[in-house]
Amino acid sequence: MMLAIDAGNTRIKWGKREAGAWIDIGSCATGERGSLAKALGSSSFERILVANVAGSAVRSSIEQALGGRGSTPQFLASRAAQCGVRSGYDDPAQLGCDRWAALIGAHRLYPGTCLVVNAGTALTVDALTEEGLFLGGIIVPGIALMRRALDEHTAGLALQPGAVRFFPANTGDAITSGAVHAAAGAIERMASFMRESGHDALRVVLSGGNARELRPLLGLDTLLVEHLVLEGIAAIAEEGD
């Protein structure tokens, strides 16, 4: 059995996989990572692969939780090429390993020209060609982070409930709508850049906590993948690293 872990700034997601299929998937808040060992039960693993972008303290907690599980955790790093995906980043190693795994997952599940979007604490929008070339991508504050920035850095725009509207008529709706539409607009701009560069037949592969909120606002062909980073980690484990 293989264990895949996607350790992000907000949540740590994990999946147990055997014979090419997920047999259990779960998550915990990154701030509650001490519960990871209990959540995994008494399972042992032939291989453990981790994509960690949450820092050294989280890495140490994961290593501690996985002690005595039959395998030493392997912490992933982005590469110039892997599993049919080639990196166009100036320094491939600088790309976040979660973004790299998501690109690999998208290419494995849905070969073709696409934007790989993770709508989490940060919003990342990465361009991938049909041939598996990662052209580059953007990083934008996520929806919650945009709202929190207004709360922390202005006098009159406190964090408050709000709904997404086309023409917001109160401050709560204005802040929420602004953040959500800004995120959707970033994705649509990247789609325009792709088409202008000659990459048609474009689809958007969405994942992350805000993916469902963004999906109906996008005038694009979209696919929702709940655990895209885990899918990429599985591809790395099963197709060779």
The packing angle between helices 143-153 and 171-196, to 10°, is 130
- For 58, other C-beta atoms within 10 Å of its C-beta total 20
Cα three-residue angle 2-24-66, rounded to 5 degrees: 50
Residue 200 is among the residues annotated as catalytic for this protein: no
- For 89, other C-beta atoms within 10 Å of its C-beta total 17
Cα three-residue angle 79-223-139, rounded to 5 degrees: 45
Could you give phi then psi for residue 176, rounded to 5 degrees? -65, -45
Residue 130's alpha-carbon distances to 107, 112, 115, 145, 179, in angstroms, are 8, 4, 11, 32, 31
| Rounded Cα–Cα distance for residues 120 and 98 (Å) | 12
Residue 215's alpha-carbon distances to 29, 53, 189, in angstroms, are 24, 25, 15
Q: Strand order in 74-75's β-sheet? A: 21-29, 11-18, 2-7, 47-52, 74-75
Beta bridge partners of 17: 2, 22
Of the candidates 98, 126, 151, 173, the residue annotated as catalytic is 98
Active site residues: 98
